[in-house]
Amino acid sequence: MKNDVKPVYLKLRDVIAAAILDGKYKEGEMLPSVRAFAAIQGANPLTVAKAYQLFQDSGLVDVKRGVGLFVARGATAKLRSFERDNFVENIWPEVKAQMQRAGIDPAELLALS
């Protein structure tokens, strides 16, 4: 796989997206405040704010002024679609090539799970 060095705000975005997809934050539920999430992740609050802004820009969260950010209706489906497209376009080609080099049959892997 690529050894890309991903900016911290994108890593935080991935953590939040995974939590939504895993059901930790359900649609309609409030995300932790910027400060609280920064403390949990050991990150700068400005960096967390930048990650949260990506979710706002994508319509994945609803902002209630003075209250907080809430996971928007349909966010899970949008994130799952994004994750699927990203896997198929960016991850699978390298995994497939590595499997071919190693002589691994996809059916073998499916049998292991």
Write down the CATH number for the domain with range 8-112: 1.10.10.10
| Per-domain residue ranges of the chain | 8-112
Q: Is the pLDDT of residue 2 over 90?
A: no
Residue entry with tokens 């090539």 = 97
Burial group, residue 23, by CB count within 10 angstroms (0-12, 13-18, 19+): exposed
Q: What confidence score (pLDDT) does residue 1 get? A: 47
Query: pTM for the complete prediction?
Result: 0.83
**Percent of the chain's residues with pLDDT above 70:** 96
Percent helix, strand and coil across the chain, each to the nearest 5? 60, 10, 30
| pLDDT tens, residue by residue, 53-90 | 999 999 999 999 999 999 999 999 999 999 999 999 99
Cβ-contact 53, 37 below 8 angstroms? no
